[in-house]
Amino acid sequence: MPTKPRLPDGFDLPTAVNGWIHDPDDRTNGHCWQYEQGERPLAIRVFESLGNSYAAVTDDRTSGLESKERIVDLDHDDRGDLSHEEAIVTAIEAAIEWMNNYSEGEWSHPRIHEAAFQPPVGYELASYRINSRTTTILYHQTDAREVDRLAGGNFPDEMSADSCPYLKVETWAGSGNSTVALAPSKGAHDNEQQEIADPPEECGIEVALTTAREFARSFIDGDDPVPADPTGQTSLGRFASQG
């Protein structure tokens, strides 16, 4: 069961604010209001941790440490100027003000790329994680079984699209350097993956997604989609586009 921030006696959360609906059954540890904007499920949550309370907005299609944009961030100490209860109330009031001032379509996470939600042919989106250093998009073959981790080092003899049901696109924040790789499981480490191409340096996530789509089309067409030399220029010309 999630543990929500404790509220002061007599303090009630609003059930609705400017189209944002309170969800008492939200499975996170925050007080939550949700807003359905087409296919973009937005949410505002108020959290607390040891000595800190904050309100944040997120697009719930994503996860990761940097998937939230903080509206207010408050340190508190019951022996100091701001008590725990005052911090929670202040964070909730900031969230309410933000929701009251919100107009549909005016907020989007700067590291969310809508193209990522259109999976390569034969794949479905498994996860979209935004962390401080990387944005990682994981696709899963639609007809393949899901694999969290391979137990006991039971890796495929040959890394191919047939033996690796996951396709991973990862881009480094700042540089834009990217990798596109096959993975045998959701939690595969870098040394357990097979890169399928070497996109240009600083290419950004859009080029990496194009690379993934070209790879998937080759696989569906029955070609051998894993190049013998994934770092070579032949691979680059085949699967990566700078268009």
**Residue ranges of domains in the chain:** 16-101, 114-239
Could you read off the pLDDT of 188-217 as tens digits, one per residue? 888 888 998 888 899 999 999 999 999 999
Per-residue pLDDT 10s for the chain (243 aa) are 789 999 999 999 999 999 999 999 999 999 999 998 778 899 999 999 888 999 999 999 999 999 999 999 998 876 667 888 899 999 999 999 999 999 888 899 999 999 999 999 999 999 999 999 999 999 999 988 888 776 555 656 667 778 889 999 999 998 999 999 999 999 888 888 899 888 889 999 999 999 999 999 988 776 655 544 443 333 333 444 333
Q: Which residues on adjacent β-strands are paired with residue 70?
A: 56
Global pTM reads 0.83
Contact 192, 153 (CB under 8 A): no
Contact 67, 130 (CB under 8 A): yes
